[in-house]
Chain A
Amino acid sequence: NAGVTQTPKFQVLKTGQSMTLQCAQDMNHEYMSWYRQDPGMGLRLIHYSVGAGITDQGEVPNGYNVSRSTTEDFPLRLLSAAPSQTSVYFCASSRMDRTNTGELFFGEGSRLTVL
């Protein structure tokens, strides 16, 4: 199993450009989410999804869009990149049924720099 796969691992953007961070998981997890982590800080939740076709906002959703057309994929779109979006982005997934332990499985991260 590959687990949670994020691409790209590194990206440099200019202010105003748009891009999509990809996240895919092969564990058939219903729950998927995106976090961002700024230097020296903890992770903050951007958006999450409890299943295909269902998404909701987290703590810091502004400037980001998500969609969930399949169970496996949960892309994060930056509509018009700003320097404040320079960060490391983590995708995470987990089971949703009542037997789940609440354990989140994280990808390796995507490091984004906006100039």
Chain B
Amino acid sequence: DAKTTQPPSMDCAEGRAANLPCNHSTISGNEYVYWYRQIHSQGPQYIIHGLKNNETNEMASLIITEDRKSSTLILPHATLRDTAVYYCIVRSGFKAAGNKLTFGGGTRVLVKP
């Protein structure tokens, strides 16, 4: 699975959009981009994933560049409860060997009042 690069930390203001970048320049054609977050010491929580089209759900939007070498997770209206570590993960599609996700260091996001 391709490696990802994320900034170690970022701050954003409550109520504003938070844009979290992720670089995955070695991504291959069948690899998906996944985003998870971990609030305090809880178990990671799935946010969203995509292959090449932009995706949106009730939590966030995922924008993937046309060459798929980078992506941005957008939290449209950040709240204090969005303070967490956000992980960008690249993984191949369906695998008989299961969903082995490799977590890097992530981006520590602090939402400030």
- A residues with CB within 8 A of B: 4, 31, 33, 35, 41-45, 48-50, 56, 58-59, 88, 90, 92, 94, 96, 98, 100-109, 111
- Residues of B within 8 Å of A, CB-based: how many? 25
Q: A48-B98, A101-B49 are in contact. List 13 more A-B contacts (CB 8 A).
A: A4-B43, A42-B106, A50-B98, A94-B98, A96-B98, A102-B34, A102-B99, A104-B36, A104-B44, A105-B46, A106-B45, A108-B42, A111-B41
Assess whether B98 is in contact with A33, with CB atoms less than 8 Å apart: yes
| SS of A interface (majority) | strand
In Å, the complex CA distance between A101 and B89 comes to 14
Give the residue of B44, B49, B91, B104 whose beta carbon is less than 8 angstroms from that of A106.
B44
Q: Which residues of A contact B94 (CB under 8 A)?
A: 98, 100
Assess whether A43 is in contact with B103, with CB atoms less than 8 Å apart: yes
Among B49, B93, B103, residue most surrounded by chain A Cβ atoms (within 10 Å)? B103
Q: Which residues of A contact B100 (CB under 8 A)?
A: 33, 45, 48, 58
In Å, the complex CA distance between A35 and B93 comes to 21
- B residues with CB within 8 A of A: 32, 34, 36, 41-46, 49, 87, 91, 93-94, 96-106
Among B46, B49, B87, B106, residue most surrounded by chain A Cβ atoms (within 10 Å)? B46
Q: List the A residue with the shortest CB-CB distance to B42.
A: A108
What's the nearest-Cβ distance from chain B to residue A44, in Å? 8
In Å, the complex CA distance between A50 and B40 comes to 29
Between A and B, 8 residue pairs with Cβ closer than 8 Å are A92-B44, A94-B98, A96-B98, A96-B99, A100-B94, A101-B49, A102-B91, A104-B46
Q: Which residues of B contact A111 (CB under 8 A)?
A: 41
In Å, the complex CA distance between A43 and B99 comes to 14
Q: List the B residue with the shortest CB-CB distance to A94.
A: B99
Q: Which residues of B contact A35 (CB under 8 A)?
A: 103
